Chains A and B, each alone.
Chain A
Amino acid sequence: MFEDITVDVSPMHEGERIRSANMFVELAGPKSIGAELVQVEDNVEDGKLEVIGPELQDMQEGDIHPLGIMIKIQGEKLERELEGVIERRTHELCNYVKGFMHLNQRDQIWCRVSKEAMEAGFKLKDLAKALSILFKEEYSIIEAISITIMTGEDQVKEFVEKTRVTYEQRDARARELSDEDVDVFYGCVMCQSFAPTHVCVVTPDRTALCGAINWFDCRAAAKMDPEGPIFEIVKGEVLDEVKGEYQNINEMVAERSQGTFDTVYLHSVFGYPHTSCGCFEAVAFYVPELDGIGIVDRDFRGETPLGIPFSSMAGQCSGGKQVEGFSGLSMEYMRSPKFLQADGGYERVIWLPKEIKESLAEYIPDELKDKISTEEDGGSIKEILKFLQEHEHPIMERMKQSLEEVEETPVEEEEAMEYSEMDMEAVSMAPVAYAPELTVPTAGGVKIIFKNAKVYAEKVIIKRK
């Protein structure tokens, strides 16, 4: 099949690197320009292979040249949506060619040809030939393929410009990809070495808590390392679309958390929030006095409205725990259209460190931008409440409504009273302790557990016994 190609073509050459000391020429890469593009077209002339610009034999040892690889494909079942996926294979298939190194993708490729391949008489035309055969072998839906390799400066420059437009269109489509568009989600247990019950669920609308891996990365990782810590979860039955509850996710979480948890909501901090590892980029926390949600990121050093800094909060909800009212999350998730959608999304957010608020400017709805407080608007509950009132944060409407509701029922009136009293007290009293779960030892076989407990005191006395 590859008889007329003078070097070996086989998957065993994948991962081949060519040291500059053993290199004949470098193509594209950090010191030049280059790109590759796969395009689905009509009327593709099958088997047409072209090299426009200098061939390897016209180059000098040690030269650096631009490189463009244009692959046109045609087939009855081929759709433009598949271009990106097929293009991704260019990297691996180029590396099948012994003596040809190919790194990365799109307009970030970097190639080298070894001296050895050059001595064997290898040409860029051979690369085109090998690719045309390999692509057809790999994807039977490709009925016709033509490949053009460009090495001339002006032509590659023009080609790179053209490819960028296509990449942008593809990215725009990918950004719009949502949980509804896919059949497969991914699970990741990379953090289980220190958070043994933590299972990360990654969907198009929800990146991993560490922010390092999104749905696309998981898809690539699960393929590259099928035995690895990242695995597929067939989406299956949706139990609650708004909260983000899925039958298969619940089952997978139960299995991978050794039965510790059996329910997870992807888009809420209430009920059964996602477990938290320890490496999340930020934490969303419920502020009961204001019935709102605050978010603090790892880089914020000050105190949160709960009276504790990020580090203490992280300590309380990390390690693979599921703590109601808390959820570790990634910065990217805050850019997701499903961001805590079950809780009201940004309408429920009352406090954010200024730095993240600024970085999220595009994603926070315009009408809410000035209504969410930051550390500059004061740190105490009272100050935040004042800010929210002054700026007419939608949470005030919510609080009013819930107060009205309880006022209608006399039994709960007491509660409403308590609420406002506590609010007053919070002003003059200092927070002493805060715990997502606090157990008070009692006698008589009863245990009292406070969830999301906050202890306030007028005075704290520490005495040596």
Chain B
Amino acid sequence: MIIAVSGKGGVGKTLVSSLLIKKLSKTGKDVLAIDADPDSNLPEALGVDVDRTVGDVREELKKDTTQGRIPPGMNKWDILDYKIMESVIETPQFDLLVMGRPEGSGCYCAVNNMLRKIIENLSDNYDIIVIDTEAGLEHLSRRTTQNVDVMLVVTDNSKRGILTAHRIGELAAELDIRFKDLYLILNRVQPEMEKEFIKRAEETGLEIVGIVHEDDEVALYDMDGKPLVELPNDSNTVKAVSGILTSILKD
């Protein structure tokens, strides 16, 4: 099962992703987290260090190829496969693959073609995959999320956040990408604005699967750069995301 978390930049995708991963890793299932946002901080939220990203591996292979450093008897697929496995950050609870920096100039067709297959193959080995997508709509038009089962769109109460959520729904339909489920999550909800926020969010046509309230504790963790997975189990935010996961897995 593949769950993707999307939305405008800064609405709390990483918060939702990291807490979903925390909860999922307690189920005893093999969990792979994919950080697909070049500008994200999922590793920090999960409290793990990253040495090397897929982007770094891609550049390394390209450089080695251009400079003629790959022996003719070696197969590039296998080399890339090895390097990708090497860049997976393995913890007892979950594994993490960080996509990292975007491509430089030059041709990436061949290497991306190989990467797609290799990551697909790698992903087949896990029970559940959680993708923290890049902000915006690119992942849809590039079809990197087309095999996703559950698409979670996160928004805060800003007009632009809701608009992005709306567009994600529209674009998925336009591109004929059929997620099994497409849900909306409202984040940083302030009680006094809750009613109005829900009303506006409902206009996107997306089903609201959960509400995460404004949480000083989360803000404090963010300010100190503390891993969000270390939030206590009785935190309202942790409970809200757990509830969301239960609803998703119920179907």
Residues of A whose CB lies within 8 Å of any CB of B are 15-17, 19-22, 30, 84, 88, 91, 103-106, 108, 110, 167, 170-171, 174-175, 177, 190-191, 208-214, 216-217, 220-221, 224-225, 229, 277-281, 298, 331-332, 335, 359
Contacts and interface: CB of A to CB of B under 8 A. Distances in A.
B72 A171 contact: yes
B235 interface: no
A438 B160 CA distance: 48
A167 B74 CA distance: 10
Interface in B76-112: 76-79, 81-82, 85-86, 90-93, 95, 105-111
A216 B82 contact: no
Contacts of B125: 15-17, 19
Contact of A175 (B72, B82, B108): B72
B113 interface: yes
A20 B90 contact: yes
Interface residues of B, number: 37
Interface string B133-156: 000000000000000000000000
B188 interface: no
B233 interface: no
Interface in B38-93: 62, 65-68, 71-79, 81-82, 85-86, 90-93
Given A105-B74, A190-B113, A216-B72, A15 B90 contact: no
B224 interface: no
Contact of B109 (A110, A191, A224): A191
A106 B74 CA distance: 8
Given A106-B74, A110-B85, A298-B106, 19 more contacts: A15-B125, A20-B92, A21-B30, A104-B78, A170-B73, A174-B72, A177-B72, A190-B113, A191-B109, A210-B106, A213-B76, A216-B73, A229-B113, A277-B107, A279-B107, A281-B106, A298-B105, A331-B68, A332-B66
A32 to B, nearest CB: 13
Given A191-B109, A210-B110, A21 B75 contact: no
Contact of B62 (A21, A174, A208, A212): A212
B122 interface: yes
Nearest to A84: B73
Contacts of B72: 171, 174-175, 177, 214, 216
A190 B116 CA distance: 14
Contacts of B77: 217, 220-221, 224
Contacts of B91: 21
Contact of B76 (A20, A22, A217, A225): A217
A413 B125 CA distance: 75
B124 interface: yes
B247 interface: no
B68 A108 contact: no
Given A16-B125, A212-B65, A280-B107, A88 B75 contact: yes
B237 to A, nearest CB: 26
B73 A217 contact: no
| A17, A106, A209, A298: most-surrounded residue (chain B CB, <10 A) | A17
A33 to B, nearest CB: 14
Contacts of A214: 72
A208 to B, nearest CB: 7
B121 interface: yes
Contacts of B105: 298
A220 B92 CA distance: 35
A21 B92 contact: yes
Contact of A91 (B78, B85, B92, B122): B78
A225 B108 CA distance: 19
B75 A217 contact: yes
| B62, B82, B90: most-surrounded residue (chain A CB, <10 A) | B82
A406 B108 CA distance: 47
A103 B30 contact: no
B109 A210 contact: yes
Given A171-B73, A279-B107, A19 B78 contact: no
B71 A104 contact: no
Nearest to B81: A103
B110 A110 contact: no
Contacts of A209: 107
Nearest to A83: B73
B25 to A, nearest CB: 9
A216 B75 contact: yes
A20 B30 CA distance: 11
16 contacts: A21-B93, A104-B81, A105-B74, A105-B75, A110-B82, A175-B72, A177-B72, A190-B110, A210-B110, A213-B110, A217-B76, A220-B77, A279-B107, A281-B106, A281-B107, A298-B105
Contacts of A170: 73
B79 A30 contact: no
Contacts of A190: 109-110, 113
Contacts of A20: 90, 92, 95
A281 B90 CA distance: 36
A108 B107 contact: no
Contacts of A220: 75, 77
B82 A103 contact: yes
B30 A22 contact: yes
Nearest to A21: B92
